[in-house]
Amino acid sequence: MSPDIETLIQKISRLPGLGPRSARRIVIHLIRNREQSLEPMLMSMDNVYKNIKVCPVCSNIDTFADVCSICSDNKRRRDIICVVESIANLWAIEKTSCFTGQYHVLKGLLSSIDGQGPEFLMLEELQKRCDENHISEIIIALSATVEGQTTDHYIKNFFKNKNIKITSLAHGIPIGGELDYLDDGTLFAAFSARG
Is residue 61 within 8 A of residue 55, CB to CB? The reply is: yes
Interatomic CA distance for residues 112 and 145, integer angstroms:
14
Site string for a second copy, 6-45 (x = CB under 8 A): -xx--xx-xxxxx---x-xxxxxxxx--x--xxxxxx-xx
Minimum CB separation of residue 119 from a second copy in Å reads: 18
- Nearer residue to a second copy within complex by CB, 3 or 115: 3
Q: Which of 60, 46, 109 is nearest to 88 (CA)?
A: 60
Number of residues that bind a second copy (CB under 8 A): 48
User: Beta strand pairing status for 165-168 and 137-140?
Assistant: parallel
Is residue 105 within 8 A of residue 59, CB to CB? The reply is: yes
Minimum CB separation of residue 102 from a second copy in Å reads: 16
Scanning residues 72 to 101, which ones bind a second copy (CB under 8 A)? 86-88, 91, 94
- Regarding 56 and contact with a second copy (CB under 8 A), the answer is no
- Regarding 175 and contact with a second copy (CB under 8 A), the answer is no
Identify which range of 4-12, 142-150, 157-165, 184-192 contacts a second copy by CB under 8 A. Answer: 4-12
Interatomic CA distance for residues 24 and 31, integer angstroms:
10
In sequence order, what E strands does the chain have? 52-54, 61-63, 80-84, 102-105, 137-140, 165-168
Q: Coil, strand or helix: which one is 151? A: helix
The footprint of a second copy (CB under 8 A) covers 1-5, 7-8, 11-12, 14-18, 22, 24-31, 34, 37-42, 44-49, 51-52, 61-64, 69, 86-88, 91, 94
